[in-house]
Structure 1
């Protein structure tokens, strides 16, 4: 197994309060996509971080050795629509309550 902390970086610091109608729709699709990965047990947890310097999203992935994290995050509807980007941070392991 491989583990990653993935950080979704929005296109601007005030993104969460200034989203256009299109961006709001894509963010709903983004949430649905992450929930689908959660149901498939590829994501352990995900959610928004309300950082005063600018909000962002965090996802903790647990994926098979033959899976590619960039492939999974590039399929996210928000990314496919050209809004923001992901940072991928490999983790040595991931422990969590089951």
Structure 2
């Protein structure tokens, strides 16, 4: 298994406060995309981060060795629309409660 911390960067620092209706719809699709991966056990956790410098999203992926994290994150509706991007950080291992 491979593990990644993925930081979703929206198009502007005040994005969460200034989304257009179209961007709001894309963000709902973004959430559904991540929830689907959560149900498929490819995402361990995800959610928004309230950063004073500008909000962003965090997700932790746990994927098979033959899966490509860049290919997976490129399917995010926000990324496909050009409305955001990911910074991807490989993790050496993952330990969790429970």
Give the TM-score range, shorter chain. Answer: over 0.9
Following superposition, the deviation at residue 50 of structure 1 comes to: 0.4
In structure 2, C-alpha distance between the alignment counterparts of 1:19 and 1:60, rounded to whole Å? 25
Following superposition, the deviation at residue 97 of structure 1 comes to: 2.1
Matched with 2:59 is 59
Q: Please show how residues 1-98 of structure 1 align to structure 2 within 5 Å.
A: 1-98=1-98
In structure 1, C-alpha distance between the alignment counterparts of 2:14 and 2:72, rounded to whole Å? 26
Consecutive unaligned residues in structure 2, runs of 5 or more:
none
Following superposition, the deviation at residue 96 of structure 1 comes to: 1.1
For the aligned residue pairs, the C-alpha RMSD in angstroms reads: 0.6
Moved over 6 A (4+): none
